[in-house]
Amino acid sequence: MGVRQISVFLENKSGQLAHICRIIADAGINMKALNIAETSDYGVVRLITDKPDLTVRVLSDEGLVCRCTDVVAISVPDVPGGLADVLELIARKNISIEYMYSMMGNDGKSHAVMVFQTEEPSEVFAKAGLDVLCGKDIGISEA
Amino acid sequence: MERYYSKEIECAPREQLRAMQSERLVSQVRHVWDNVPYYRHKMEQAGVSPADIRSIDDITKLPFLKKDDLRDSYPDGLRGVPAKECVRIHSTSGTTGKRVVAYYTKEDIDLWETCVARALVAADISDEDVVQVCYGYGLFTGGLGLHGGAEKLGCMVLPMSSGSTDRQLQFMEDLKSTVLCCTPSYAAYLSESIHERVLSDRIHLRKGIFGAEAWSEDMRASIESSLGIKAHDIYGLTELSGPGVAYECSVQNGMHINEDHFYAEVIDPDTGESLPLGSKGELVITSLTKKGFPLLRYRTRDICILSAEKCACGRTFVKMSRPMGRSDDMLIIKGVNVFPSQIETVLIQQGYPANYQIIVDRVNNSDTLDVLVEMTAENFSDSLSKITAKEKALVAELKAMLGIYANVHLVTPKTITRSEGKAVRVIDKRKI
Ligand SMILES: [Zn+2]
């Protein structure tokens, strides 16, 4: 039930991110989320796109180092305290999170989406009463 | 079973070899005295004449030749015969100043090819083999040197020269090459390309003859396992003929020097003093037979160890260790001696490719050492902390090996200039 995320090695050089985005654009891939973690020297770009397999292929073909991993996407009510409630629940259940970031919801309703990287299976989140989304829910067209 | 190209020489008793070396040195010194005024002048300055050289033991009386001498005598000050008797030249570039031009008579080419043929047979290569030579052809000795030796042995030679990886792989597959001759870094590059294109099952390589570049035991292990071959080291310098001055046998632990043609010594690079066998120092080679470019006591700048221990292969030729660096490749950073090969060893141990670049600079009167390292799929993760942890481990290992701190920079694969010929490993920006 996980959502597939593509991470790409980003060398600290001007135009590198633009280069990655252009490769993706030229392949007709639509980006749903983008998050960057960096040190002063390099970074990791994390992407959610509508076509994860194709994204990995086009980036690898250009000689970039990338990989696909599963992450958990959770729907968060778009109201004050929406995220605080979700995070408190996660903390109470002792679910440890490696990193997280937000992305646009795809349903046009008043919901945001948070993406979590964790060692735990997504069922743990569902059992905690959270609204776990599948790829289709956030506009990923590849199975 | 060990095979030999010239068994009676390669396995000759030491006394017999020494007698041959004495006889050849005496006649070579006479040849140089009579024909090379540049060196004769050096001998006169040192107060030595041919009469003083009666055996190989007297060799230490002779003055050294340095690379600077070769440049000073450009283009033909060290040629030992009239141009009419030469059939070929090769040339090597210096990083600064003039090139060095080396001359060959027909006999010089023949003895060079014999030396290379011995190297090939020692690696168990025969006339059944298809030898793909990807060293550059031309002024560089790598291409024509391996070519000549392999042809003399009766192998089918593919004179590919360097570059054009697509064509290299196409011929390797279609003509079923069994032997690859190139620089170790190009072998590593070809091996990566073979794996990327999933060609392993269609490649027939079984041996590699790699030289012209510093490499490490770890790099050998990685090339051997990824290509499924035995990789043999070969040593030589254009000034002394080219590859084949020394070569590895099946034991793969040091290179036998072709001692009937080349006499080896090790000296202290600072004082010029001769060192006993087993000491680490600068390799000095005397060409005992070459007439076109007869160098006496040439300082190679390669740091190595000579060993006369009995080799399991049966050869009696002295062995030299793989050069541990060049006396002029050695970088002095913050007062510490650093050889690029040490950095390479750590990179391979830590799972990074041996394609790296070292940048030395001086900032606020203090030396800095930066190493560009290529990221790999195996070392990459979506978690920044995992990448950083591996990077820290690499920095710690480099510190342990070198004794000084190195700034590591992870870069995109294949963005460091690749060595289809020779690698640019070091950029020293210090203006001293
Ligand atoms: Zn041996």
Q: Where are the domains of chain A?
A: 3-69, 70-137
pLDDT class of B406 with cuts at 50, 70, 90: very high
Residue A69 is nearest to which of B382, B385, B415, comparing CB atoms?
A: B382
| Rounded distance from Cα A115 to ligand 1 centre (Å) | 61
Is the CB of A136 inside 8 Å of chain B's CB atoms? no
Question: Which CATH superfamily does the domain covering A3-69 fall into?
Answer: VC0802-like (3.30.2130.10)
pLDDT for residue B364 is more than 90: no
- Backbone φ and ψ of B245, nearest 5°: -60, -40
**Closest-CA residue to B172 (of B145, B146, B208, B216):** B208
- Measured between beta carbons, the chain A residues lying within 8 angstroms of B413 are 63, 65
| Region of residue B22 (phi > 0: left; psi between -120 and 50: alpha; otherwise: beta) | alpha
pLDDT class of B355 with cuts at 50, 70, 90: confident
Query: What pLDDT sits at residue B323?
Result: 87
Which secondary structure element, helix H or strand E, spans residue B372, and what is its range? strand B366-374
**Contact (CB, 8 A) for B40 and B80:** no
Residue A117 is nearest to which of B382, B409, B413, comparing CB atoms?
A: B382
Indicate the fold that domain A70-137 takes in CATH: VC0802-like (3.30.2130)
Most confident range, picked from A87-91, A107-111, B421-425: A87-91
Q: In the predicted model, what is the mean pLDDT of residues B261-288?
A: 94
If one counts every other C-beta atom within 10 angstroms of the C-beta of residue B47, the result is: 9
pLDDT class of A116 with cuts at 50, 70, 90: very high
| Rounded distance from Cα B149 to ligand 1 centre (Å) | 19
User: Inter-axis angle of helices B106-122 and B141-153, to 10 degrees?
Assistant: 70
| Rounded distance from Cα B256 to ligand 1 centre (Å) | 7
Distance from CA of A86 to the nearest CA of B (A): 22
Q: Do domains A3-69 and A70-137 have the same CATH topology?
A: yes
| Residue B363, amino acid | V
Is the CB of A106 inside 8 Å of chain B's CB atoms? no
pLDDT class of B142 with cuts at 50, 70, 90: very high
pLDDT for residue B273 is more than 60: yes
Neighbours of ion ligand 1 (CB under 5 A): B 249, 251, 311, 313, 315
Is the CB of A62 inside 8 Å of chain B's CB atoms? no
Is the CB of A65 inside 8 Å of chain B's CB atoms? yes
**Closest-CA residue to A93 (of A60, A58, A118, A63):** A118
**Contact (CB, 8 A) for B321 and B307:** yes
CA distance A62 to A44: 17
| CA B265 to chain CA centroid, nearest Å | 17
Query: What pLDDT sits at residue B95?
Result: 47
Residue A11 is nearest to which of B384, B388, B411, comparing CB atoms?
A: B411
Most confident range, picked from B107-121, B185-199, B265-279, B358-372: B107-121
If one counts every other C-beta atom within 10 angstroms of the C-beta of residue A124, the result is: 17
Per the CB < 8 Å rule, is A38 touching B384?
A: yes
Using DSSP, state whether B21 is helix, strand or coil.
Answer: helix
Per the CB < 8 Å rule, is B384 touching A43?
A: yes
Q: In the predicted model, what is the mean pLDDT of residues B395-408?
A: 91
If one counts every other C-beta atom within 10 angstroms of the C-beta of residue A107, the result is: 12
CA distance B123 to B252: 9
pLDDT for residue B94 is more than 60: no
| Model pLDDT for residues A57-83, shown as the tens digit of each residue | 999 999 999 999 999 999 998 889 999
Domains parsed from chain B with CATH numbers: 1-327 (3.40.50.12780), 331-431 (3.30.300.30)
pLDDT class of A92 with cuts at 50, 70, 90: very high
Average pLDDT, chain B: 92
pLDDT for residue A128 is more than 70: yes
Bridge partners of B333, per DSSP, are B336
What does each C-alpha distance from A31 to A61, A64, B312 come to in angstroms?
A: 18, 18, 63
Render B187-222 in DSSP notation, one character per residue: HHHHHHHHHHTT-GGG----EEEEESS---HHHHHH
Using DSSP, state whether A126 is helix, strand or coil.
Answer: helix
Q: In the predicted model, what is the mean pLDDT of residues B180-209?
A: 93
Q: Which of residues 14-33 of A touch B (CB under 8 A)?
A: none
Letter string b/e over residues B320-346, b meaning 16 or more CB atoms within 10 A of that residue's CB? bbbbbbbbebbbebeeeebbbbbbbbb
pLDDT for residue B413 is more than 50: yes
Query: What pLDDT sits at residue A137?
Result: 86
Query: What pLDDT sits at residue A143?
Result: 60
Is the CB of A64 inside 8 Å of chain B's CB atoms? yes
